Amino acid sequence: MRKIALVAAAGAAALALAACSESTEQAAEETVEGAAADIEANADAAGEAVEGAAEDATAAAEGAMEEAGDEAAEAGAEVEAATDAAPAE
């Protein structure tokens, strides 16, 4: 029984595809082309967003490295000052 229903459904699908008018095929083609254009636009937007995020992350990392360097220099100066101020043994 299942096989008969499956064969009948496949036959109906084949007839439906064969019966598609040219305008229906053209409308389907336009729909596919529109979807492809939307996908391309979304991919471009996503790429730009990722690129912007990467630039922001790079700038933040550079700022953090500069700040760490400044703090290290300051700590070095404090150690040198403490060493100079300590009595010699």
What is the Cα Rg of the chain in Å?
Answer: 35
pLDDT digits (tens, 9 = 90+) for 4-60: 766 677 777 766 766 667 777 788 889 989 999 999 999 999 999 999 999 999 999
Count Cβ neighbours within 10 Å for each residue of 70-79 and write b for 16 or more, e otherwise: eeeeeeeeee
pTM of the model: 0.49
